[in-house]
């Protein structure tokens, strides 16, 4: 797996670093899927380490949803975001100059609330599945029942998490992101992603959607994890065949409509 440099635990998340940070190695902020410990996705971390990256991995508590308290999600995102800022500052002081990310499922949504003005150092990254967080959670029967038992409905949850679903990115000029998805993802369908690309494109980011062969949300996430080094390579370096200047965000958004 590589040398584990530090491990911390908080009420809502745990974090662990892998590999040796160096000025020549880009650091990837890696956030696990909902309810998934770091150990279970170690295969993806190993693949990133072999590709030469330094990895800071996070796992989050299942209580973010199982307690049926919508206030926990924004608190979790805030705590993880502050920890990422702290680690980036430390690594930057050690000479690391390049930071990207790879987030899966809930981890993808957390990082969606970190890019741009929140953590400007994250210039490129992979959203391994994406979409409406309230709708996705509502499709999980056990979690839906827990929330309904406490009087929550889907419209109320969407209202409670509206600021997270539509964050203010600020400017994203020069940022490169890719969303990984599948037409057969039953929790975060590929067809639902397009509406969330618009604000990123309008803010100046280069954004694309890439499909993977899968039969469910779980297998979509696994396929994305297995191909993590490939997707990271796609966004880490700009496509030399793409014009640097006059490429309309609106045209790119229209082109993505067929994804």
CB atoms within 10 A of CB 201: 19
Q: How far apart are CA 95 and CA 98, in angstroms?
A: 9
Q: How far apart are the first and last CA of the chain?
A: 35
Q: Global pTM?
A: 0.89
Query: How many domains in the chain?
Result: 1
| Sign of the dihedral defined by the CA atoms of residues 239, 235, 42, 22, in that order | positive
CATH number of the domain enclosing 230: 3.40.50.1820
Q: Is the dihedral of CA 70, 116, 251, 221 positive or negative?
A: negative
Strands 13-18 and 54-60: antiparallel
Residue ranges of alpha helices (H) inside 150-258 are 154-160, 162-165, 194-202, 217-226, 228-236, 249-256
> What residues make up the domain containing 19?
4-256
CA 2 to chain centre: 23
List the chain pLDDT tens, one digit each, 259 residues: 444 444 455 579 999 999 977 766 899 999 999 999 999 999 999 999 999 999 999 999 999 999 999 999 999 999 999 999 999 999 999 999 999 999 999 999 999 999 999 999 999 999 999 999 999 999 999 999 999 999 999 999 999 999 999 999 999 999 999 999 999 999 998 988 988 899 999 999 999 999 999 999 999 999 999 999 999 999 998 653 343 333 334 334 433 333 3
Which single residue is written with the structure tokens 């109320």? 156
Residue 34 DSSP one-character state: T
């Amino acid at each position: 797996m590589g040398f584990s440099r530090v491990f911390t635990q908080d009420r809502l998340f745990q974090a662990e670093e892998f590999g040796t940070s160096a000025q020549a190695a880009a650091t990837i902020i890696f956030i696990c899927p909902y309810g998934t410990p770091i150990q279970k996705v170690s295969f993806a971390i190993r693949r990133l380490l072999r590709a030469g990256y330094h990895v800071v991995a996070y796992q989050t508590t299942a209580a973010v949803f199982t307690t049926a308290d919508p206030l926990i999600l924004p608190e979790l995102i805030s705590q993880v975001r502050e920890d990422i800022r702290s680690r980036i500052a430390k690594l930057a002081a050690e000479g690391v100059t390049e930071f990207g990310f790879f987030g899966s499922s809930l981890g993808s949504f957390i990082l969606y609330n970190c890019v741009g003005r929140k953590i400007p150092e994250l210039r490129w990254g992979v959203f391994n599945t994406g979409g409406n967080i309230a709708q996705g959670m509502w499709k999980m029967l056990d979690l839906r029942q827990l929330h309904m038992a406490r009087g929550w409905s889907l419209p109320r949850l969407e209202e409670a998490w509206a600021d997270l679903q539509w964050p203010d990115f600020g400017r994203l000029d020069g940022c490169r992101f890719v969303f990984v998805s599948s037409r057969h993802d039953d929790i975060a369908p590929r067809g639902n992603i397009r509406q969330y690309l618009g604000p990123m494109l309008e803010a100046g980011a280069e954004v694309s959607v890439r499909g993977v062969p899968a039969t469910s949300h779980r297998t979509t996430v696994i396929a994305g994890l297995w191909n993590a080094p490939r997707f990271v390579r796609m966004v880490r370096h700009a496509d030399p065949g793409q014009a640097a200047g006059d490429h309309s965000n609106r045209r790119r958004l229209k082109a993505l409509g067929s994804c």
